[in-house]
Structure 1
Amino acid sequence: MRRASWQVRLAVLPIMVIVAAAVGVAQSRPAGAGGPIAVRTAGCGTPPPAADAGRVEFAVTDDTTVFATVYLVDSANLVYAEIPWLTPGRTLPLATTLGAGRYAIRCVLSTGKVHTTSQFSVSGTTSNPVAGYKPLPDLDMTAPVKAYRAWLGTALPKLLAASQRLDADVARGDLQAAKTDWLPAHLDYERLGAAYNSFGDFDASIDGTPAGLPDGTADKNWAGLHAVEYALWHGAAASDVRPLTQALVTSVQGLIADFPSEEVDPGDLPLRAHEILENTLEFQITGASDEGSGTSLATAYANTEGTQEVLSVLTPLIDDREPALPAKLGGEITALQGDLLATRDSSGNWTPAPAIGTAQRQRIDADLDQLLEDLSTIPNLLAPRTNA
């Protein structure tokens, strides 16, 4: 699985888009019922005392000289709508659909000041009111990150052992054994999907693809498991493969030595819960990442295992916000894994992605699409809202 640096940077941006769809982040459109709200240094305005259930929309203007984040919250501090970044002098709508209850507007200035309006009551009934989200203080991600780092600490030595086994095969000239041992090494790395952004240059040296290299597959700087794959399945001599496997072992050893000083960004885990399999859809299910082994569907299966590991450390936080979601996701992952396993032949060998039947591909695509749709809710569900 491969993500260029621009893909990683853009991965941070969709949180606001997802929130817009799920919670009602403000977009530029005319304000509706609810009235104007002025964010000031000393306060957050005054909403009307009451409103009917249904669509509620406040025109919020930042009358300060600093940026503001604006939330619509209820008595239990759940978030129903937000403007993530309101610039000085600008007006944006804070809009959502509310059921009966008591609500308030909270303004968090970039100076650190927090102001909350008086509560207003909503009465009556409406169809499909927005479900509020429990705010997530940054420190709540400490335990999941610690647990994930601990898991990585046990997984990296397995990757090293598999890489050393592959190198030993090539060292004695047994390329058939090397082909057999290449896949376990590759899958050991692919299961670490949520940590790629923490591996720095080691990611490219361990599992880089020829995409973007000046000479493609002939580029002398291409290294790692995919380079070994290409060499093994394109008739390279053991003497030409050995430098690649030796460099692979060195890179994995370097990663293990460096990893204690690397940080796993708390914001990465909720994003990767969705992105791992999003990349799988693009690169593995299509076979685009295959360099000759025909095992990209095995890689897709490893990616589902990587997703399960991320979900396992996030489940306590998800349970606290959407209790039915973990079981739903678990069932969908199991279904997708069954689809992938069904592509193997009677000997257990993986069928190359382009060779699977139409019915199998449609089933995989349908199950993966549904899983991705449900996984896409996690970045918003676990978006930091420390002062909400």
Structure 2
Amino acid sequence: MSASPRHLFVGAGTAVAVVVSLAGCTQKGDDKGGVGAIQVVSKDDSCSVSKKDFPAGHLKLNVENRGSKVTEVYVLYPDDRIVSERENIGPGTKAVITAEIKAGAYEIACKPGMKGDGIRQKVTATGGTAAKRSPQMDAAVGAYRQFVQAQADATLPKAKAFTDAVRAGDVEAAKKAYAGSRIGWERTEPVAESFGDIDPKVDVREDGLEAGQDPAKDWTGWHRLEKALWHDKKIGDREKQLADLLDKDLADWVKRVGRAEITPTSMANGAKELLDEVAKNKVTGEEERYSHTDLVDFKANVEGAEKSFELLKPVALKNEPALVTQLDKQFAAMNTLLDKYRSDKTSYVFTSYEKVGKEQRKELSDSVNALAEPLSKLAAAVVK
């Protein structure tokens, strides 16, 4: 799970300053709408934006982290909903963020050390030229919207099976229903996180709470119940109340999914975000630290990323066929590796992550990195 909206709309990171390249792209647009690349320089204590007004359309940020901490960079709506993000930008490394934006007010957020609200700069997308979309792009967006809604709709009954068991005080039944109730959420997590306020209600870990929040009062959602089931090994009145609240918050999420801002670039960036989630929380075992069901989340994240890729493949194939070939290969390798940890290819019963050794975790991490690198180029390939 990512950080709360006040943690920067959906994630975390180091200070990033957005600086427009001096190599002629400060005024020049591209043939698909939008300004040329804006250069981003990150430091631990600053986030400066050299150009705070630019045309709407396709926005490209070239990010360089010159700080000493891992960073995440976000483009946010004024209400903290996410337009685009890039996580896990290490010190001395670079990344590219490609996003489709409409005219209006935004913030570029930089987060040193992946804690707190980060450092923000207000920016404005002016009239400009609308980002152009082909019929294939529109088809991909439409199909992905249907996929996300279907995943959200399917989550409610599975979550209710879990919360019903909690309300009944049946620890073992709740344990059995827990991992399966999270699959739809994990497949579509970037869209869920884009709303800003839902993720911290249903998917936050105890150490992801805001400064000053009291875990006894303010920690809600799946992971709070996970701790009760596996660590405390008991269900009390508070847990039953939290089960009711989880049902309510997930129902709110399902209603909102249809209003989510979805573009070809947000689909591509979301696929990369899912791999970042795997690298940051699943491979490390931090996400499901009590239940050790990390591999279920891992698989669902990969499936969500692969769905975006498959829908965008016709567009990317025209522009970057070699990239598509590489992604096909790496997704296949990733899925083959995950299949080693379950009894059959249709089952979501995976090996408990506490039984996955250090070398096996490294193998999983290496496979994630091998997939994440080319996946980070998908957004640019789609709008090329």
TM-score (norm 1): 0.64
Match in the other structure for 2:219: 222
Give the 5 Å matches for 1:282-301: 282-301=280-299
Q: Describe the shift of the 1:188–1:325 C-alpha distance in structure 2 as closer, same or farther (beyond 3 A).
A: same
Q: Distance in 1 between matches of 2:225 and 2:291?
A: 10
1:118-171 deviations in whole A, cap 9, x for unaligned? xxxxxxxxxxxxxxxxxx724664332221111122111210000111122223
Q: Distance in 2 between matches of 1:372 and 1:238?
A: 41
Q: Distance in 2 between matches of 1:281 and 1:181?
A: 25
Q: Distance in 2 between matches of 1:369 and 1:145?
A: 26
Match in the other structure for 2:180: 184
Identity %, equivalent residues: 24
Q: Describe the shift of the 1:9–1:340 C-alpha distance in structure 2 as closer, same or farther (beyond 3 A).
A: closer
Mean CA deviation greater in 340-349 or 205-214: 340-349
Amino acid at match of 1:273: A
Paired residues, what number? 294
Q: Distance in 1 between matches of 2:322 and 2:138?
A: 23
3-state SS, counterpart of residue 183 of structure 1: helix
Amino acid at match of 1:382: V
Mean CA deviation greater in 189-198 or 177-186: 189-198
Match in the other structure for 1:160: 156
What's the CA shift for 1:355? 4.2
Q: How well do the aligned residues superpose, as a CA RMSD in angstroms?
A: 4.0
Q: Describe the shift of the 1:216–1:377 C-alpha distance in structure 2 as closer, same or farther (beyond 3 A).
A: same
What's the CA shift for 1:321? 0.9
Match in the other structure for 1:39: none
Q: Does 1:232 align with 2:191?
A: no
Q: Distance in 2 between matches of 1:281 and 1:166?
A: 27
3-state SS, counterpart of residue 28 of structure 2: strand
1:170-229 deviations in whole A, cap 9, x for unaligned? 233321011000110012211112312443322222222221345778331211111121
Tell me if the contact between 2:2 and 2:11 (Cα under 8 Å) persists in the aligned partners: no
Give the 5 Å matches for 1:1-388: 1-5=1-5, 8=9, 60=24, 68-69=27-28, 83-84=37-38, 137-138=132-133, 141-210=137-206, 211-214=208-211, 218-233=215-230, 234-344=232-342, 350-353=350-353, 355-383=355-383
Q: Distance in 2 between matches of 1:164 and 1:204?
A: 19
What's the CA shift for 1:296? 1.2
Q: Describe the shift of the 1:111–1:223 C-alpha distance in structure 2 as closer, same or farther (beyond 3 A).
A: closer
3-state SS, counterpart of residue 220 of structure 2: coil
What's the CA shift for 1:298? 1.9
Q: Describe the shift of the 1:83–1:237 C-alpha distance in structure 2 as closer, same or farther (beyond 3 A).
A: closer
What's the CA shift for 1:265? 4.9
Tell me if the contact between 1:166 and 1:178 (Cα under 8 Å) persists in the aligned partners: yes
Q: Describe the shift of the 1:288–1:111 C-alpha distance in structure 2 as closer, same or farther (beyond 3 A).
A: closer
Q: Distance in 1 between matches of 2:176 and 2:163?
A: 12
Amino acid at match of 1:279: E
Tell me if the contact between 2:180 and 2:348 (Cα under 8 Å) persists in the aligned partners: no
Q: Describe the shift of the 1:181–1:348 C-alpha distance in structure 2 as closer, same or farther (beyond 3 A).
A: closer
Tell me if the contact between 1:69 and 1:83 (Cα under 8 Å) persists in the aligned partners: no
Q: Describe the shift of the 1:240–1:375 C-alpha distance in structure 2 as closer, same or farther (beyond 3 A).
A: same
3-state SS, counterpart of residue 288 of structure 2: coil
Match in the other structure for 2:98: none
Q: Describe the shift of the 1:261–1:307 C-alpha distance in structure 2 as closer, same or farther (beyond 3 A).
A: closer
What's the CA shift for 1:230? 1.3
TM-score (norm 2): 0.65
Q: Which is higher, the Rg of structure 1 or of structure 2?
A: 1
